Amino acid sequence: MSSEETVEVVIPLVKTITSLSFRNLRYTVPQQQRGGSDKKQLLKNISGTFRSGRLSAIMGPSGAGKSSLMNVLSGFKTTGVKGRILINNEVIERAKYRQLVAYTTQDVPLLQNITVQETLHYAADLKLPSRVTRIHKTKIVNDIIALLGLEKCAHNQARNLSGGERKRLSIGLELVSNPKIMFFDEPTSGLDSESSYQVIRYMKELARQGRCVVSVIHQPSSELLELFDDLYVVADGRCMYQGALDDLVPTLTEAGFVCPQYYNRADFALKVASMLDTDSGDKVNQLMKRMESITTEHLNGFHDDQHDELLDEGRRKGGSSPQYPISAFLQFWILTRRTALGTFRNLALTRLRFIGHILFGLIVGAVFYDVGDNGSKVLSNISCLIMMLMFIVFSNSMTVVLTFPLEMAVFIREYKSNCYSIAAYFCSKIVADFPLMLAGVTCFQLIAYYLTGQLNETSRIVMFWAVCALMGWTAQMYGMVAGSVFPVDVSPFVVPSSMIPMILFSGFFIRYSELLDVFKPLTYVSPFRYGFEGLALTTYGMNRTEIGCEDMFCYYRKSVKVLELLEVKDSCYWMDVGGLGVWILVLHMLLYVSLRLRLRWNQ
Ligand SMILES: Nc1ncnc2c1ncn2[C@@H]1O[C@H](COP(=O)(O)OP(=O)(O)OP(=O)(O)O)[C@@H](O)[C@H]1O
């Protein structure tokens, strides 16, 4: 779309006038220092107002506190925040506030395998009330696609989008709920000048429709700057200028900073803001004080202490009873469909997972061919059992370890936008990933079981499969917990290195009676112990008496001898199933807690 073309308005206009005011905002973060921890104040009693119908730019030198201001105003950061945020001079309860406000961060995480159209459809399903019909939702999605010029890439998966298209899709995601106030953090970063111009023009159009649109912008060109109506300059966590763009140069001149002719006004304002620590610092300080008295003037009559209480009240209410646009079941159902689609579309990984299970089943089958009912090859068969367990565990834990962190980023963004509850995401994640794990494990187990010549008895096969499936489930949950707790560059190391010690206590490498007393309790916490014991019992227990023998003499002809060798003669299969069940339960609880903690750390 050329810059001269007018943008057709199809998204409903925002009718009510909205002004967002903030007064004496303070934002403090804890800071680790040598010899203890300290606090760092990122926003220092900062005040201002943004009005609907106008496109406002937040500018300032690097590290001035622009993103911090954006995070606080959008409600994405609440811990360590004091001060007052008002919409039309009213304090709004937090959950409601989040419904009015949309925030597009610098790099919005997207689900890579979902197309532009699907991404917007899912956003509409999650953000719009269920009473909005399918036809209406489709119209909204199509309108957004047209408004943002995304028609050409509507069926492209997010992974194939250009930087500009990703930015526009991010804006579209927020437009779905037709918010009154929109925040953007550096929407032009990484874009060429034409794409930057287009994005800001879209934002200008959104403002013209009656929204309050505020954007952090980094060194805009003169052409780009002209699109903005108002400017808010931040320096060292304080306001240096707030007002119309056209008043910027006169205000700076009045403060003793004369902008040279043909100089970009934005660059000049940044230059002045950077003078805080120089000889001209006093003049900048005076300008700030003047601005602070102007910005707070019309917000008088409201005590800050009173507001701090109100903000906390809003936080408490918002925290305990968040209002989601759709019911819990619908949230769960939509998220499950979306996750399943994303997993299915990740063809490389899905195919690799399947082919890997089949291929390794064939390899195990070929290497341990027909050892299952052969008294002279019992030790090989026992090795085969532990090998099967190790493959199931590593293949199912490592795949989620790599994919989960990116999904977590999407979850955090959507949760903060009040789209759905933790419980809905948690349940959908478990349900959506379960069938693929089960299908892979089943293929692998059936191939390996048949080729290695284990006993062909239905109950044995089912019980053997059940242990394999429970181990696969445990491993998948283990991978998810690691993926949710550790960063993506750490978790692929954490998972195998934490599992190896547990394999040691499986009962295969060293028998229980030969362990030092100090290590014995560890066998009760190793899932490999339950898995290995379960497989050994289904293979050699359950009233099996004789093992086939083709030689003259087989020491392990009686299966009880094998059970004695493994020290599982008196063990119970159902105890092993129970042990794995407890592991699965604990891992589910850990995943839920880690999701909660991740959200809390991000507040
Ligand atoms: N969690 C944190 N702990 C300690 N310091 C922080 C934290 N977050 C931000 N800061 C510091 O606060 C200051 C303001 O950060 P902020 O990201 O808001 O700046 P900015 O103006 O957006 O910078 P830029 O233009 O470079 O993105 C910076 O000095 C930054 O290092």
**Is the pLDDT confidence value at 446 over 90?**
yes
Q: State residue 367's pLDDT score.
A: 95
List Cα–Cα distances, 509 to 47, 516, 537, 556, in angstroms: 66, 14, 17, 19
40 Cβ below 6 A of ligand 1:
yes
Our answer on whether the CB atom of 501 is closer than 6 Å to any ligand 1 atom is no
Task: Report yes or no for ipTM above 0.90.
Answer: yes
pLDDT of 181 strictly over 70 = yes
Mean pLDDT (the chain) is: 85
Express as a percent the part of the chain with pLDDT over 70.
Answer: 91
Confidence bin at 16 (pLDDT 50/70/90):
low
The span from the first CA to the last CA of the chain, in angstroms, equals 38
pLDDT score of 9 more than 80 = no
Please give the Cα distance from 120 to 101 (Å, whole number): 18
Closest ligand 1 atom to Cα of 69: 18
Locate 198 and state its tokens. 């287009």
321 vs 137, higher pLDDT = 137
Q: Which residues pair with 33 in a beta bridge?
A: 36
Give nearest CA residue, ligand 1 atom 31.
Answer: 63
- What is the model's pTM? 0.76
Q: What is the Å distance from ligand 1's center to 50 Cα?
A: 22
Instruction: Establish whether residue 483 lines the binding site of ligand 1, counting it when its CB lies within 6 angstroms of any ligand atom.
Output: no
Of 40-44, 146-150, 294-298, the least confident: 294-298
**What is the rounded average pLDDT of the residues 526-534?**
94
pLDDT at 2 over 50: no
Q: Which of 31, 67, 81, 216 to mutate to test the pocket of ligand 1 (most atoms within 8 A of CB)?
A: 67
Between 179 and 369, residue with greater pLDDT: 369
Q: How confident is the model at residue 303 (pLDDT cuts 50, 70, 90)?
A: very low
pLDDT in tens, 248-278: 999 989 888 888 888 888 888 898 888 877 7
pLDDT at 119: 95
Instruction: Reply yes or no on whether the pLDDT at 206 is more than 50.
Output: yes
Which range scores top for mean pLDDT: 307-316, 408-417, 449-458? 449-458
Mean pLDDT to the nearest integer, 146-161: 89
Give distance in angstroms: CA of 548 to centre of ligand 1: 71
Distance from the CA of 70 to the center of ligand 1, in angstroms? 11
Of the pLDDT bands very low, low, confident and very high (cuts 50, 70, 90), residue 4 is: very low
Of 334-338, 354-358, 483-487, 549-553, give the lowest mean pLDDT range. Answer: 549-553
219 lines ligand 1 (CB under 6 A): no
CA distance 504 to 500: 7
CB of 429 closer than 8 Å to CB of 476: no
pLDDT at 487 over 90: no
The answer, yes or no, to whether residue 317 has pLDDT greater than 70, is no
Helix (H, G, I), strand (E, B) or coil at 553: coil
Q: What integer is the mean pLDDT of 137-144?
A: 90
Does residue 66 have its Cβ closer than 6 Å to ligand 1? yes
Of 177, 223, 175, nearest to 203 by C-alpha is: 175
C-alpha 64 to ligand 1 mean position (Å): 7
Q: Does the beta carbon of 67 lie inside 6 Å of ligand 1?
A: yes
Kindly indicate the confidence band of residue 154, based on its pLDDT and cuts at 50, 70 and 90: very high
What is the structure's pLDDT at 488?
Answer: 80
User: In terms of Cα–Cα distance, which of 307, 395, 440 is closest to 22?
Assistant: 307
Q: Find where tokens 């403090």 sit.
A: 28
Whether ligand 1 lies within 6 angstroms of the CB of 265 is answered as: no
* Ligand 1 atom closest to 71 (CA): 18
What's the token pair of residue 94? 């937090």
pLDDT of residue 190: 73
How far apart CA 532 and CA 76 sit, in angstroms, is: 47
Produce one character per residue of 340-352: b if its CB has 16 or more CB atoms within 10 Å, e if not: bbbbebbeebbee
Determine the atom of ligand 1 nearest the C-alpha atom of 216: 22
Give the side-chain half-sphere CA count within 13 A for 493: 5
d(CA 578, CA 582): 6
